[in-house]
Structure 1
Amino acid sequence: MKVKFAVVALALSAILFACNKDGYKKSDSGLLYKIYNENSGEKIKEGDFVKVNLIYKTDSDSVLLNTYKMGRPYEFIVQKSMFKGDMMDAFKMLTKGDSASFKILADSIFSPKFGMQKMPPFIKSGSYLVFVVKVVDVKTKVAMEAEATKAVDKFVADSKLAFNKTNSGLRYLVTVPAPAGTPVKLGDTVKVHYTGKLLDGTKFDSSVDRKQPFELPVQKGMVIDGWVEALQLLKKGESATFIIPAKLAYGEMGNGPIPPNSPLVFDLQVLDVKPAKATASAPAAAQAPATAPASK
């Protein structure tokens, strides 16, 4: 009889441990979770692009972030977990359309072991942070790339312009030719004017608006790969429009006002070209603007 009682007690304690007083269950990774709405479908995987609405708050209900009030969902690529039971583990429990909440120890999130910032004074050690999540959309990397390619094809078709296409997928159209101009080569330093836009026409950066040309070395690591290729297609005095695939720009992560996996449209004008030999002993190159031309 004592043995039976011990078995029942052990089972009961396990249930209580796995499901605390406010209805949260505990996953194998130690994550506290509560699913409000669960849909059928493939679970989110590492590398997937997700769009979620998120309320992030302390366990005393002080809201730290609310994407509903911001007016746009949070978009990101699901990464490898930094620690067992973190939010990357949480998202991998969900699929498109799911809604849930998760509780994670504040000490884990602000652990210096993971290079996190110091815990704010209004968050107490030993307390939990609560994440209320609604998964708006999920796309695989392959689906994202296919969608971006389709969007570029539509942009080119709608423009009714004869864009050229390189092996990398870069599209370009020389709008002001300069047959006698100095060709841009890898390693040269160029002075350019540029305007960068998204495919929908949203402008995110322009040296023209600032009335300040941008000088840069044409080499990988200094600017996005798409610019390195694009500039070598031009000569001094030429202007062109380029459509740069996301993989040659900011890829899956995006950058500031540039959403993840966004092809970019640049109007480029080459004002001057300094051959590499003439600049070999020059000091380090000027800094790139904060948005588009900067390297990934």
Structure 2
Amino acid sequence: MKILQTALISGLLALLISCSTEQSQETTRRGYRLERHVSTNGAKPVPGEYAYFQIVMRHKDSIINTSYGSDQIPRIRIPAEDEYTKETPVIIDALAEMSEGDSATLFFPLDSLEQVPPAFANIDVIEYDLKFLEIKSDEEFKAEMQEIMDERAAEMEATKAKKPEVVAMAEKALADYKAGNLDLQKTDSGLEYFIHEEGTGEMPKSGQMVAVHYYGAFMDGRSFDNSYDKGEPYRFPLGQGQAIKGWDVGIGYLKEGSVASLFIPPALGYGETGYADIPGNTPLYFLVNLTEVN
């Protein structure tokens, strides 16, 4: 799964905003400015129904976040009048007044917040560019969620079933490493790695979210952790200190879809202090599969 590049998203924004020759402005029920770009004059969602949409969160020309490129379409339940609270997402103000095929921009002034997040200290207004995709009833939404849950459960079971194969590959890699039979790549940081299967996807950049299935073991082969028992990969932003340094370094050398062995010295693992059942000054081995780059 590949996230759209900023230039492409900017192009989509320009197209979205220029789709209608006449733009109209209005004020939402909570006083936010709403600028319409495309109005189909179709049916609006009623309370209890779900709005499916695409969104770009930005400040002027700088994109803060976007749903484009994700494999999950955002959806949100439209509340009844007496269900609105201070925590009700501001975009509901716009979506409740839109129809399938509509596009609009909601302007949210940050001075309306009790406390502005530090990252937004120099931003006065956030723009939400919304493309309304479809309306689904509560029954349709629940049926869809059940289908997603069933698919996820099946995927988790399939992942768990792979563990014996993964263990065998890890044991062989460790044996080959000790025998000097691996054509290792070595980094200046001290990390050694071997790519068993090279993926065809992109190589992740610092800050991008990655999903990694892993099997971790000591150099004597004893396993201390793995993702296969859980049935789900570990997800983290690369290069942001949310994983051990050996992962931040090693995963950065892999293309999406790759399977690799990482031989991690203590300095790139848990250092002198160790962690949980991992003693200090312990070199570690991981068989990793980079499944997603977002």
- Tell me the TM-score normalized by structure 1: 0.39
- Tell me the TM-score normalized by structure 2: 0.39
Q: Which has the larger radius of gyration?
A: 1
